[in-house]
Amino acid sequence: MKTKTKTSKAFKVKLGFTAVAAIGFIAGVLHFRPMISEPLNFPPEVTPPKTVVYETLEKNDKKIDLHQSTTAELKNISLRLKVPEVKKTTPLKRADRLLRGEDLERFADEKIYLPTVNTPAKNWKERLGHELLRFQPEGVKVALAHEQSYLSISGGKGRYMELIVVNYLNPVNGNTAFRAFADSETGQLIDTWDQTHSERVTPIKFTQHKE
């Protein structure tokens, strides 16, 4: 009888420890779950990576069609968006746009009046398409990626600009690509650089507008 009693007590003690351990494990999991589901918070000086969206501009009669680039079109892209760089200081902004040019600290204060030479237009991409495709033959498309919006300051005046990546998709003469600043109102190219091209490419003709 005594042996059975000792065995029964030992079993109860063991069962009690198992239950406590199980409860502790479950509590630990429940406590840990919020840490897994919490979103990543980037410091203010770090630009978080964004979803890359390429849009294709295509000439259709006298109109410019704009649609999200297809998988087949993306395979022919030779110049892609740059990986966001970690910045040591928070970039200066005005009207939710990055500032570049002169007297940036002064004009970052939106209380200070800054005249501008243009006004951002909703259809600047379509206007850009006319600029890029007007000298191109039928069948040539442009895969466009928008990197960032800027407000450039020169001589006490501001100009709204868009930093873009342009990829010409030319099935006959080869592909070419470059980075550029485009006017946020007219879509006209302000400056271009980082040009890449295939051996078969023909020269691109466009009107370049300097500030």
Q: What angle do CA 193, 125, 205 make, to 5 degrees?
A: 45
Decide: 155 and 164 in contact? Cβ < 8 Å: no
Count of C-beta atoms within a 10 Å radius of residue 1: 5
pLDDT exceeds 80 at position 122: yes
Q: What percent of the chain has pLDDT over 70?
A: 64
Coil, strand or helix at 98? strand
Query: Could you report the per-residue pLDDT of 164-194, keeping only the tens digit for each?
Result: 999 999 887 778 899 999 999 999 999 999 8
Query: Could you report the per-residue pLDDT of 19-51, keeping only the tens digit for each?
Result: 545 545 444 433 433 332 333 333 333 344 456
